Amino acid sequence: MPSFAQILLIAAVFLLAGLVKGAIGLGLPTVAVGLLGLVMPPAEAAAILVVPSLVTNAWQLAAGPAIRPLLRRLWPMLAGIALGTALFAGALQAGHAARVAMGASLLAYGLLGLANVPLDVPPRAERLLSPLVGLVNGAVTAATGTFVLPSVPFLQSIRLGREELIQALGLSFTVSTIALAGALAGHGLFGRGALLGSVGALLPALAGMQLGTWLRGRVRPATFRRAFFAGTAALGLHLAVAG
């Protein structure tokens, strides 16, 4: 049973993570697992993430304009995510190594975001890369509890419209969350206690999303994104070095 201080910490983390997602359309798993990874094992942090991530990303997915065309286009990547997560499902139990891997993933993601190098993947290369990107993304998900690399840069590079991209990110994150939940449950890491904790984290995550949506109209998105990526890189560096 978590202490009152732990409950407050989890609520504060998911409020912040939801705020980031509401403001820029992504970042809830990155912020939540990264910050919780400072005070608990990565597997425990990932288990708490499941319900807030599933609900907020399903919401983002449902709000988009064209799910069927995206499913036809992205299914090789999505299948790769499921397969990669299943193949590497035991990696989150690695303790110190999992925390270092999480830190390295967050550091790489933060630096890529700060570099803001435009990527462009032509349709022919997209078909070849899609399953490989999914497989690697699934492995990273299983090892770290985060699901941004390499799927987010890949989706940003395949010439999707703005609304399509937001929906594609929701689709990718939803599949990753379901695959992660299955991997955790298969290794006995998502029992009744973890489920209750995850459900409890949902309300602050939704409240944070509402706050982030309000904030989005009052803060320049580019400024917010730079702050997010800089914070992600700093958090990743700390986790990678401290372990």
Tally of domains within the chain: 1
**DSSP codes, 175-241:** HHHHHHHHHHHHTT-S-HHHHHHHHHTHHHHHHHHHHHHHHHTTS-HHHHHHHHHHHHHHHHHHHHH
Task: Give yes or no for residue 95 having a pLDDT over 70.
Answer: no
What pLDDT is recorded for position 215?
Answer: 86
- pTM attached to this predicted model: 0.90
What pLDDT is recorded for position 61?
Answer: 78
The set of residues, in sequence order, having a beta carbon less than 8 Å from that of 109 and lying 6+ positions away, is 30, 146, 148, 149, 152, 229, 232, 233, 236
Task: Give yes or no for residue 217 having a pLDDT over 80.
Answer: no
52 within 8 A of 18, measured Cβ to Cβ: yes
pLDDT band of 98, cuts 50, 70, 90: confident
Query: Which range marks the domain in which residue 130 is found?
Result: 4-242
Query: Which pairs with CB-CB distance under 8 Å and at least 24 residues apart come from 1-5?
Result: 1/193, 2/197
108 within 8 A of 140, measured Cβ to Cβ: no
What pLDDT is recorded for position 2?
Answer: 67
CA 195 from centroid of its chain's CA atoms: 18
In the chain, the percentage of residues whose pLDDT exceeds 90 is 57
Residue with tokens 């697992």: 33
